[in-house]
């Protein structure tokens, strides 16, 4: 198991055309070669471009092919819009060693944002831990952070990743819930939120002992996650 996960969070604004967003990710992949984990916001390639869903899906397919070729030792995580046989989904994707090693579609859609009018809900069975280099990861996508039954599905994870487009009016909710998840599941929570004007930002690292490294003003946030803290907290405060 790795002792330290060198983590970088991209707190991005969506730009048009789509290629500007992908170029931004390419730039960071090149400049962050020494980092282990890079997390970007929800639908960071295309935004929720409901008026052009087919175009957004096709661009996501193109970007995926390009990123598979570029992401080797790093881990890259974000969500993209995809099309399955029965409709459109918002899918988290994890790249590592020139392949996709984990995918899961958003299960809890944000009704206030009318996501349910355009997107299908993913299966809860897709929300499962996955392991890379001895580190156990899990993913929740934005609004899913509010559901304690989903926290339980990721018990035992060392790091939970949260790619998000969390709105500014509920900024404190994002911060409180992320901190609570870290303390409850005795793990690190990595939040990569959008920095659009109507979004909360608040991207950062929330630790199992309640500590927070959070930033609103910068596009890049870096922190080295010491996994020994997870083991220490779980040893001294036994939950089962």
Would you list the DSSP string of 39-90? E--TTTTT-S-GGGHHHHHHHHHHHHHHHHHH-SSSEEEEEEEEEETTEEEE
Say how far apart CA 167 and CA 44 lie, in whole Å: 15
The CATH class, in words, for 4-236 is: alpha beta
- Of 66-70, 165-169, 178-182, 236-240, the poorest mean pLDDT is in 236-240
pLDDT average, residue stretch 146-151: 98
Task: List the one residue out of 6, 69, 11 whose CA is nearest residue 40.
Answer: 11
Kindly report whether the peptide bond that precedes residue 182 is cis, defined as omega within 30 degrees of 0. no
Say how far apart CA 114 and CA 173 lie, in whole Å: 20
Sheet of 220-226, strands arranged across: 99-105, 87-96, 75-84, 37-39, 4-10, 220-226
The mean pLDDT value of the chain amounts to 97
Are 42 and 79 in contact by the 8 Å Cβ rule? The answer is yes
Instruction: Work out the pLDDT band at 238, boundaries 50, 70, 90.
Output: confident
Coil/strand/helix, residue 188: strand
Instruction: Work out the pLDDT band at 239, boundaries 50, 70, 90.
Output: confident
Instruction: For the chain, give every domain's residue range.
Output: 4-236
pLDDT digits (tens, 9 = 90+) for 104-131: 999 999 999 999 999 999 999 999 999 9
The structure tokens listed for 8 are 């970088």
The structure tokens listed for 1 are 């198991």
- Which spans in the chain are helix H? 18-31, 53-70, 148-153, 171-184, 228-236
Say how far apart CA 97 and CA 100 lie, in whole Å: 8
pLDDT average, residue stretch 84-92: 97
Look up the pTM and report it: 0.97
What is the pLDDT at residue 25?
A: 98
| pLDDT > 90? residue 180 | yes
What is the pLDDT at residue 144?
A: 98
Instruction: Work out the pLDDT band at 240, boundaries 50, 70, 90.
Output: low
């Amino acid at each position: 198991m790795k002792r330290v996960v060198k983590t970088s969070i991209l707190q991005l604004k969506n730009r048009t055309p789509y290629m500007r967003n992908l170029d931004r990710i390419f730039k960071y992949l090149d400049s962050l070669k020494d980092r282990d984990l890079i997390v970007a916001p929800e639908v960071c390639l295309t935004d929720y471009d409901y008026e052009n869903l087919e175009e957004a899906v096709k661009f996501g397919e193109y970007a995926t092919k390009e990123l598979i070729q570029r992401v080797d030792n790093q881990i890259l995580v974000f969500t993209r819009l995809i099309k399955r046989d029965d409709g459109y989904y918002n899918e988290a994707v994890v790249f590592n060693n020139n392949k996709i090693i984990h995918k899961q579609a958003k299960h809890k859609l944000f009704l206030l944002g009318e996501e349910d009018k355009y997107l299908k809900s993913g299966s809860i069975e897709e929300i499962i831990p996955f392991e890379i280099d001895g580190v156990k990861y899990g993913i929740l996508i934005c609004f899913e952070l509010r559901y304690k039954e989903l926290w339980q599905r990721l018990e035992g994870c060392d790091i939970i990743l949260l790619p998000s487009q969390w709105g500014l009016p509920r900024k404190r909710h994002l911060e409180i819930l992320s901190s609570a998840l870290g303390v409850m599941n005795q793990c690190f929570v990595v939040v990569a939120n959008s920095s659009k004007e109507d979004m909360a930002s608040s991207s950062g690292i929330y630790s199992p002992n309640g500590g927070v490294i959070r930033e609103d003003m910068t596009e890049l946030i870096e922190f080295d996650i010491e996994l020994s803290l997870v083991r220490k907290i779980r040893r001294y405060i036994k939950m089962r």
